[in-house]
Chains A and B, each alone.
Chain A
Amino acid sequence: MLSMIEQEIVERKGWIDREEFMNMIALAQAAPGLIAVNSAIFIGWRIGGWRGVIATVLGAVLPSFLIILAIAMVFQSYKDLPAVEAVFKGIRPAVVALIAAPLCRMAHSAKITWTTAIIPIAGALLIWLGGLSPVWIILTTVLVTLLYTWLKEKKNLTVKRSDCEQREQSNSKTV
Chain B
Amino acid sequence: MIYLQLFLSFLKIGLFGFGGGLAIFSLIQHEVEVHGWMTQEEFVDILAISQVTPGPIGINCATYVGYTATGNVWGSLLATTAIVIPSLVIMLSICKVYFVISSRFQRNIYFTRTMHMLRLSVLGLIAAAALLLIKPVSQPSVSFIDWKSWVIFAVVCIFTILPMFIKKPESNGDIVQKKSAAFFKTALQLISHPILLIILAGVAGYVIYS
Q: How far is the CA of A28 from the CA of B169 in the complex (A)?
A: 34
Chain B residues, CB < 8 A from A30:
111, 115
Chain B contact residues: helix, strand, loop or mixed: helix
Interface residues of A in 49-82 (CB under 8 A from B): 53, 57, 60-61, 63-65, 67-69, 71-73, 75-76, 79, 82
Residue numbers in A under 8 Å from B198 (CB-CB):
91, 94-95, 98
Interface string of B153-164 (1 = CB under 8 A from A): 110110011001
**Does the CB pair B149–A93 fall under 8 Å?**
yes
Q: CA–CA, A50 to B209, complex, Å?
A: 52
Q: Are B118 and A142 in contact (CB under 8 A)?
A: yes
B92 & A122 in contact (Cβ 8 Å cutoff): no
Bound state CA distance, A68 and B52, in angstroms? Answer: 11
Contact A72 B67 (CB under 8 A): yes
Looking at the complex, which one of A79, A86, A112, A146 makes contact with B45 (CB distance below 8 Å)?
A79
Q: How far is the CA of A27 from the CA of B104 in the complex (A)?
A: 12
Asked if B120 and A96 sit within 8 Å, CB to CB, the answer is no
Choice from B109, B131, B156 contacting A149 with Cβ under 8 Å: B109
A38 to B114, CA, bound (A): 19
Q: Are the C-beta atoms of B110 and A149 separated by less than 8 Å?
A: yes
B8 within 8 A of A: no
Bound complex: CA A36 to CA B54 (Å): 12
A33 touches B87 (CB 8 A): yes
The interface residues of chain A, by DSSP majority, are classed as helix
Which residue on A lies nearest to B134, using beta carbons?
A96
Beyond A92-B44, A93-B150, whether A61 also contacts B205 by CB under 8 A is no
Complex-state Cα separation, A129 to B135, whole angstroms = 10
Counting CB contacts under 8 A, is B47 at the interface?
yes
Question: Contact between B130 and A100 (Cβ–Cβ < 8 Å)?
Answer: yes
Q: How far is the CB of B44 from chain A (nearest CB, A)?
A: 5
Distance in angstroms from A1 CB to nearest chain B CB is 7
Q: Does A46 contact B (CB under 8 A)?
A: yes
Chain B residues contacting A61 (CB-CB under 8 Å) are 59, 80, 84
Shortest distance from the beta carbon of A88 to any chain B beta carbon, whole Å: 6
Contacts A69-B76, A90-B208; is A32 near B59 (CB within 8 Å)? no
| Residues in B34-58 with C-beta less than 8 Å from chain A | 34, 41-42, 44-45, 47-51, 53-56, 58
Which of chain A's residues 1-34 have a Cβ closer than 8 Å to chain B?
A: 1, 20, 23, 26-34
Q: Which residues of A contact B117 (CB under 8 A)?
A: 119, 141-142, 144-145
Tell whether, in the assembled complex, residue A138 and residue B152 are in contact, meaning their CB atoms are under 8 Å apart: no
- B-to-A contact residues, CB < 8 Å: 12, 14-27, 30, 34, 41-42, 44-45, 47-51, 53-56, 58-60, 63-64, 67-68, 73, 76-77, 80, 83-84, 86-88, 90-92, 94-95, 98, 102, 105-106, 109-111, 113-134, 137, 142-145, 149-150, 152-154, 156-157, 160-161, 164, 194, 197-198, 200-210
Hey, which bits of chain A sit against chain B, CB under 8 A? 1, 20, 23, 26-38, 41-42, 45-46, 53, 57, 60-61, 63-65, 67-69, 71-73, 75-76, 79, 82-83, 85-112, 116, 119-129, 131, 133-135, 137-139, 141-142, 144-146, 148-150, 153
The 9 A-B pairs with the shortest beta carbon distances in the complex, nearest first, are A90-B205, A123-B124, A64-B55, A33-B87, A94-B201, A120-B124, A97-B156, A127-B128, A101-B160
